[in-house]
Amino acid sequence: MDILSKLPERLGELMFEKNVTPKDLAPHIGVNRCTVNRYLRGTRLPNFCVFVKILDFFPCSADFILGLVDHTPPNTTFYPTPKFSERFRELMSEYKTSQYALHKKTKFSYDNFNKWLKGDTHPFVDNLIKLANAFDCSVDYLLGRVK
Secondary structure of the chain in the HEC alphabet? CCCCCCHHHHHHHHHHHCCCCHHHHHHHHCCCHHHHHHHHHCCCCCCHHHHHHHHHHCCCCHHHHCCCCCCCCCCCCCCCCCCHHHHHHHHHHHCCCCHHHHHHHHCCCHHHHHHHHHCCCCCCHHHHHHHHHHHCCCHHHHHCCCC
pLDDT at residue 2, as a whole number: 66
Q: pLDDT tens digits for the chain (147 residues)?
A: 466 789 999 999 999 999 999 999 999 999 999 999 999 999 999 999 999 999 999 989 999 999 999 998 889 999 999 999 999 999 999 999 999 999 999 999 999 999 999 999 999 999 999 999 999 999 999 999 999
| Closest C-alpha to 40, from 19, 16, 60 | 16
Could you list the residue range(s) of the whole structural domain that residue 135 is in?
Answer: 84-143
Q: What CATH number is attached to the domain comprising 20? A: 1.10.260.40
Judge whether 38 lies within some domain: yes
How much is the pLDDT for 78? Answer: 95
Determine the pLDDT at residue 3.
62
pLDDT value at residue 1: 42
Same domain, 89 and 60: no
> Does residue 71 lie in a domain region?
no
**58 within a domain of the structure (yes/no):** yes
Which phi and psi angles does 75 have, rounded to 5°?
Answer: 60, 30
For residue 77, tell me if it sits in a domain.
no
pLDDT of residue 50: 98
Surface-to-core class of residue 93, CB atoms within 10 Å of its CB (0-12 exposed, 13-18 middle, 19+ buried): exposed
Residues 88 and 139 in one domain: yes
Q: Could you tell me if residue 73 is inside a domain?
A: no
Residues 94 and 131 in one domain: yes
Counting the structural domains of the chain, the total is 2
For position 59, what pLDDT does the model report? 86
Q: What is the pLDDT of residue 120?
A: 97
Per the domain annotation, does 74 fall within a domain? no
Would you say residue 70 lies in a domain?
no
Quick check: is 93 in a domain?
Answer: yes
Do 83 and 117 touch, CB atoms closer than 8 A? no
